[in-house]
Structure 1
Amino acid sequence: MTALTGLVARNLIDGAWVDAADGAAAPSFDPATGAVIGHFPASGAADADAAIAAARRAFEQPGWAQNPRLRQMVMLRWADAMERAGEALARLLTAENGKPLAQSRGEIAGSVSEIRYYAGLARYIPGHAFEVEPGVFSTMMKEPAGVAGLIIPWNAPSVLLIRALTPALAAGCTVVVKPAPQTAILTAEILRTLHEVEGLPPGVLNLVCETGHEVARALVTSPEVDVISFTGSNATGTRIMADAAPTMKKLSLELGGKSCCLVFPDADVAAVAPKLAAAATIISGQQCTAARRVLVHESRFEEMKAALKAALAGLQVGPGDAPRSQIGPLIDADALARVGRRIEETMAAADEVVLAGARPGGALEKGTFLSPTLVAHEDTAAFFVQEEIFGPLVVIERFSDEKDAVRRANHTQYGLSASVWTNDGARALRVARALRNGTVWINDHNRLFAEAETGGYRRSGLGRLHGYDALIDFVEIKHVFQDAGVV
């Protein structure tokens, strides 16, 4: 693939592409090579305030908030434009994020699908009415909540943008998007395909890029922002909750995860191990639903340990645009240092190091690459069993029976996702029901799509994204009472 260079992103405020108010800009890097691929605005609070004001003005006009047919048509045209630009966007995603091109193509395709799903829902957000006494009526109306601030992460920057932006738009909100600095150029290009759609009023869509936290803080604390949707770490989610409390915003937070995969004795180990290896290393392990703990019945433990080691060791590490690459680089040098340090500490503390990951040399030396690590451990209280280490680290554990498996899996602060691997249908449902997770897959992992809600229990977050219930975070319910009398 030809290297991408010289790319320039700008802020989008009130329908116009603009630089940061003070003209500051920052570089975006290719994590596979360390090369600069372009620049984006290094914005501040003044830029955020301008975008929030534009979104508020647009929301107060009925042409968008009260026009579901327009919203649907804009989103359908946007989906078509995204589809036409799909290959170019996928290549940009790989260049800026590092993930293998096949994963990038899948992410863009999933984004298009999600846009079309919420375009369909834009014209079906019904309320209800009932007669509480003779001639006395209560009508329940679902109205757009207002201005939504969307704080988007870098690990799946297309689909995680779309899954927050599309229900917000479908509901009739106006938005200010704050992307991660690592993938700001991709975000700007995706939003360009929407900005250019016929019928989108100025101010409905705003984008403000930054390298620090001023813009995000302005969104979270502004009384003119009614909803915050954030995907990211628990630490940041906790700060957002505290900072948003004075203005009583609606919050949608998808936070950390430590997904367990429960493998029962009737599972086909040879078939399951490669699937678990792929689930553990998706986006180089930088996905909140990635497989991080593999719990195996004691009768198959040694067999699975050997099979999973072979499957992980056999994955090809390399640049995302290389034809056979299966694991790309970590997002940046800071992530490499942080994750690498925690994996070294894990290997020093674990009962057994089954497969030791390392930084590859040679042609990959300039990139932020890290091969997978597999450790075996008994104590579920260990830091590396409890902590979300955002990289290619897998812990394998043994269990004795169903109760032991569920007990071990539920010993966590998180509750985002898990998977159950068995050919016994009753066991699969029984165990899935006992797990305290927002999503449980049976004989699969990481299957996410527009129609099915996702979100977490406990410290994995608040609210749901994807599916019809994602609209809840972007609407308010109004009760209109009228005593009309009777004839």
Structure 2
Amino acid sequence: MRSYNSYIAGTDQQSESWVYSIRASAVLNDFVASVKLKRGLEKGLRDDGAQQPDVVARCSISTQEQLDAALVQAKAATAQWAAFPLAKRLELARRFHLEVKKRQQEFIDVLIAEGHPRKLAEWEVAGILQCSSYESLELWERQLHEERKIGPRRLLLVRKPDGVVVLSPPQNAAASNSVGGLAVLVAGNCLVVKAPRSCAYGVMYVWRDIVAPILEELGAPPGVLSIVCGNSGNILQQWLDSPLVNDIFYFGSSERGIQLGIDAVSRGKKPILELAGKDGCVVWKDADLGKAAEMLTECFFGSGQICMVPKYAILHPDIAEPLIALLLQKVAGIRPGYPEDSNALLSPVLRTDEYFRYLQEATEAGARLLAGGHRVELDGQPSETGPFIAPTILRIDSLTKARSMASVSEETFFPLLPLVIPEVDHADLLDEVIQFINDNQYGLRNSFWTSSESVISQVVSKVSNGGLLKINDSHIGFTPWLATHGGTGLTGGPFGELNYPLLRSSHLQGISIAENVQPSQAVFESTSFSEEKHSKVALDDFAGVI
């Protein structure tokens, strides 16, 4: 059993209360016994957690004094950490990448123990490595510092850290999502990370076992990082009320997150919101149907309990039938299992009542059930009490009807994929489909499949919804250079966009360093170039200025 104390400004500080993590496969084997074990340990009725093979970790619940100290120490370290050379802060990210690569299997095993199916855990760790790759870090450097010499002046565009940033990751993929805080540190901020009580193990592993030692080796001041655990509502309220906090980086529901953003702004704090998603996919008539069908099965990673998986798809009517046939073949092989099982993709579903409500509403409105529609046991057999839900596919033969269905318009957190098929093809169909995508009240990711350069050009120029647009690619796959999170509408709030946390947790400052400039003449300068030279300046000379 791993044991984690609260990590406050470079020291491990224990308290009298703990949360325990029970191996997910043990919970599936015997739910009642696992819950009894967990409650007994957390209530102090037993103290043999270290002797129990299925108790994988425990995390100390932070006291109020520890929560207060984390913010005080972070504030005290802001000036010193912000003054660290950018190259040294980028070294933190580089070393993190190397350490995760070295520990890749160990990291995957931690996520599996928490209940992530192996394929899902492998995807998460691959994403962390991709997004801390050399290409990504090269972009981070350009985003934080751009410099140009024009005439007698050295001109800089530099992003300065906001100060103290607090991070509250989600409960469904806490460890991997919390890694967004790495860029916050690289931007020069001090960071306080809250590990959710329900899944503290993975977050503590990332930050205490991997990040904290690297910071110590780099000579970072102790207050740069603190890791706490406790009641989310109480901690968030403390962060809102504290004058020491500058930015609140929050993952959660749109309903809670939008209100949190309002409360943060009203208190003079910057909200960085990662909220719900309702990702759309479009498969056009000239798409590679085999690859498109493969992409659509990504809906069922972790039983759809991830924001950035496909949540609905629009199929061109000319290819709907063959594509659906291919998809149903692939979906038939998707099954539940223990998280350790390399062939299992599904995980237990928490919102089963909501699933059946959405399913009933859709079928009563005319949707046809093509697959799934029931609960299943660990072995895949139908059961009224099974913890899993069979991969479910709906067919909706109308764009108009689809938008009024909750299964298409609202975020869903279960394995349900509505296939929307326009009634007929016509000259304006692409524009109608693009408008459908743009009208989505959420805006995380969208993806298109087509072989037409003309269609690609129109999609690229007209699709404004979402933080990330992918064409002929895995919907959930990560790419270097492009951020993994962020979006418009209810996904990111009024300031939502593709989220580079180092940009969102910093502010842009322009700097001019002049040499031999006469102020009385400089005040009337109108240009630094001759008109001839100015006309020849290529736009790409200014690429990378952010």
TM-score where L is the length of structure 1: 0.86
- Corresponding residue of 2:112: 94
- For 2:239 and 2:498, locate their aligned partners in 1 and report how far apart those are by CA, in whole Å: 20
CA displacement at 1:240 relative to structure 2 = 1.3
* Residue 24 (structure 2) pairs with residue 26 (structure 1): no
- For 1:73 and 1:482, locate their aligned partners in 2 and report how far apart those are by CA, in whole Å: 27
Q: How many corresponding residue pairs?
A: 469
Which residues in structure 2 correspond to 1:72-471 (within 5 Å)?
A: 72-96=90-114, 98-117=115-134, 120=138, 124=142, 125-126=144-145, 141-162=158-179, 164-191=180-207, 192-197=209-214, 198-199=217-218, 200-277=220-297, 279-330=298-349, 333=350, 335-339=351-355, 341-343=357-359, 345-361=361-377, 368-377=387-396, 378=398, 379=401, 380-399=403-422, 400=425, 401-435=429-463, 436-444=465-473, 445-453=475-483, 454-461=485-492, 462-464=495-497, 469-471=500-502
Q: 1:409 to 1:120 in 2, by over 3 A?
A: closer
1:374-415: per-residue Cα shift (whole Å, max 9, x none)? 112231111221110112111111123212322333332112
- For 1:72 and 1:429, locate their aligned partners in 2 and report how far apart those are by CA, in whole Å: 36
- Corresponding residue of 2:6: 11
1:284-303: per-residue Cα shift (whole Å, max 9, x none)? 21222211111112222233
Q: 1:45 to 1:220 in 2, by over 3 A?
A: farther
Aligned AA (2:187): A
Q: Unaligned stretches of 5+ in structure 2? A: 39-54, 520-546
- Corresponding residue of 2:50: none
Q: 1:367 to 1:176 in 2, by over 3 A?
A: farther
- Corresponding residue of 2:530: none
Question: Given that residues 167 and 193 in structure 2 are in contact (C-alpha distance below 8 angstroms), is that contact kept between their aligned partners in structure 1?
Answer: yes
Question: Given that residues 299 and 417 in structure 2 are in contact (C-alpha distance below 8 angstroms), is that contact kept between their aligned partners in structure 1?
Answer: yes
* Residue 493 (structure 2) pairs with residue 473 (structure 1): no
CA displacement at 1:463 relative to structure 2 = 4.3
1:445-474: per-residue Cα shift (whole Å, max 9, x none)? 2232341134212222134556xx542212
CA displacement at 1:185 relative to structure 2 = 0.6
Name whichever of 348-357 and 203-212 sits farther off. 348-357
- For 1:355 and 1:452, locate their aligned partners in 2 and report how far apart those are by CA, in whole Å: 34
- For 1:261 and 1:116, locate their aligned partners in 2 and report how far apart those are by CA, in whole Å: 27
- For 1:16 and 1:339, locate their aligned partners in 2 and report how far apart those are by CA, in whole Å: 44
Q: 1:304 to 1:72 in 2, by over 3 A?
A: closer
- For 1:180 and 1:194, locate their aligned partners in 2 and report how far apart those are by CA, in whole Å: 18
Q: 1:349 to 1:318 in 2, by over 3 A?
A: farther
Aligned AA (2:488): Y
1:327-386: per-residue Cα shift (whole Å, max 9, x none)? 2334xx4x4454455445545555211112332225578984222111122311112211
Q: 1:41 to 1:216 in 2, by over 3 A?
A: farther
CA displacement at 1:173 relative to structure 2 = 0.6
- For 2:451 and 2:317, locate their aligned partners in 1 and report how far apart those are by CA, in whole Å: 17
Question: Given that residues 377 and 387 in structure 2 are in contact (C-alpha distance below 8 angstroms), is that contact kept between their aligned partners in structure 1?
Answer: no
Larger radius of gyration: 2
Aligned AA (1:91): D
- Corresponding residue of 2:45: none
Q: Unaligned stretches of 5+ in structure 1? A: 1-5
- For 2:412 and 2:141, locate their aligned partners in 1 and report how far apart those are by CA, in whole Å: 41
1:24-57: per-residue Cα shift (whole Å, max 9, x none)? 2223344452445433234465433221111111
Question: Given that residues 360 and 369 in structure 1 are in contact (C-alpha distance below 8 angstroms), is that contact kept between their aligned partners in structure 2?
Answer: yes
Question: Given that residues 232 and 255 in structure 1 are in contact (C-alpha distance below 8 angstroms), is that contact kept between their aligned partners in structure 2?
Answer: yes
SS of corresponding position for 2:12: strand
Aligned AA (2:504): D
Aligned AA (1:174): C
RMSD after superposition: 3.0
1:217-274: per-residue Cα shift (whole Å, max 9, x none)? 2223322111122222211211211220233222221222211111112224344223
Q: 1:432 to 1:446 in 2, by over 3 A?
A: farther
Aligned AA (2:226): N
- Corresponding residue of 1:57: 76
Q: 1:357 to 1:221 in 2, by over 3 A?
A: farther
TM-score where L is the length of structure 2: 0.77
1:118-143: per-residue Cα shift (whole Å, max 9, x none)? 65567552255888xx9999865432
Aligned AA (2:431): K
- For 1:343 and 1:52, locate their aligned partners in 2 and report how far apart those are by CA, in whole Å: 45
